[in-house]
Amino acid sequence: MDQMTLELTQALVSRRSITPDDAGCQTLIADRLKAIGFAIHHLPVGDVSNVLAIHGQSGPTLLFVGHTDVVPPGVESDWQSPPFTPSIRDGRLYGRGTADMKGSIAAFITACERIAPNQASLPFRIAILLTSDEEGPARDGIAQIAPQLTSYLSSVDYCLVGEPSSRNQLGDTIRVGRRGSLTATVTVAGKGGHVAYPEQVDNPAHRLSQFLGELADTTWDTGTDAFPPTSFQVTHLETDTHTSNMVPGSAIAQFNLRYSPALTHTDIIQRIETIAHRHIGDDQLSLIWHLSAKPFSSEPGALRTAITQAIQATCGIEVEANTAGGTSDGRFIAPLGAEVVELGPVNASIHQIDESIDIAELDQLSELYEATLHRLARLVRAPNQ
């Protein structure tokens, strides 16, 4: 078993890179890439670290996108071993970021290192873009750097995102798009008072609950061939009182919609505001909207073909392409015209206590990325293969 991918993953996991702190991960990676001929561009924005590495001078560009930041570990004493001390047990590597997504980054780096002697013969550039702001606000990472890419690259044609896409075994699922994410915070004003005098109060919790009930019962769309129907979920509820004999003076809720390209966020906002006005007066209502992601999808192209062929050859399984899951940084690259596909390890333990990855899966993922590069090279040279 090749130890290179495992050792690099361990080195990355040992760095406590909770958003937005990169904790030296990108410097370690940049040094490895510079040694095999990549040009390195550090592109910090505020407290966020971003790095762009480029190899090759001409042809289309394959961009690998990843993030070196991780979510907080939670209560560290709940872990069987310290979350930032990579530990091996029963053939698995444990630690925060092993699956999401330091293992993917290490696998792609070692794939590049193996093909380095022949990389100049590839008919495309390889670029790698990493950020330490994916798990947090995602404002100063790929969102900021994507519009700048044309200063470094003539085009971005293919984008491979290393998010943990696999469900039960490596390669069983790839993502070819993601739903949009729209969040609202709604505040309803009323008139508080004693519960024994209902004629003297105007309960905002009642109005809010009626409004939310209609939203929960609404069929937003039927989805598309690539996307499930839009979903609505209430994520937070509170009032300004916490006693059993007081009617609150105000009530607040937060809700989120994950939506497909069958709708725009403007469509959704208009429909919800219309529903709100059926239950709540204008002078009693406040709606604050936050659009964190627009939906995107990529039509089948050379990258999807290369990845599918590589999975079939390396893993011996059929591949499901879908748009499930949360948001990813692929949403910032898709508007550049790139074909975006996400491929990474099994996601069963991500963001959880005792996050881990199968050590054999690390090696296989590196082989899979290498096979993808070779198969994409064939397709670029001979598009009709």
Active site residues: 69, 134
Q: Is 100 annotated as a binding residue?
A: yes
250, 271, 308 from 191: Cα distances, Å: 8, 27, 60
Cα 200 to Cα 190: distance, rounded to the nearest angstrom? 11
* 345: Cα separation from own chain's centroid: 13
Cβ-based neighbour number of residue 287 at 10 Å: 14
- Supply the DSSP symbol for 308: H
Chain-centre distance for alpha carbon 92: 23
202 annotated to a ligand binding site: no
First to last CA, the chain: 33
Handedness of CA 172, 8, 178, 339 (dihedral sign): negative
- 3-class DSSP state of 110: helix
Query: Known binder of ligand: residue 367?
Result: no
- Closest by CA position to 62, among listed 8, 108, 12: 108
Closest CA to 295 of 329, 331, 271: 331
CB 12 within 8 A of CB 106: yes
Counting every residue, how long is the chain? 385
Strand partners, 236: 254
Q: Are 79 and 175 in contact (CB under 8 A)?
A: no
Question: ∠74-94-368 over CA atoms, to 5°?
Answer: 120
Are 184 and 272 in contact by the 8 Å Cβ rule? The answer is: yes
**Long-range CB contact pairs, 231-239, < 8 A, 24+:** 231/257, 231/258, 231/259, 232/256, 232/257, 233/257, 235/183, 237/208, 239/204, 239/205
Asked if residue 163 belongs to a known ligand binding site, the reply is yes
Alpha-helical runs (H) found in the chain: 4-13, 25-34, 103-115, 142-145, 204-217, 265-279, 302-314, 330-333, 359-381
> Is omega for the bond preceding 101 within 30 degrees of 0, making it cis?
yes
- List residues forming the annotated binding site for Zn(2+): 67, 100, 135, 163, 351
Which segments are annotated as binding site? 67, 100, 135, 163, 351
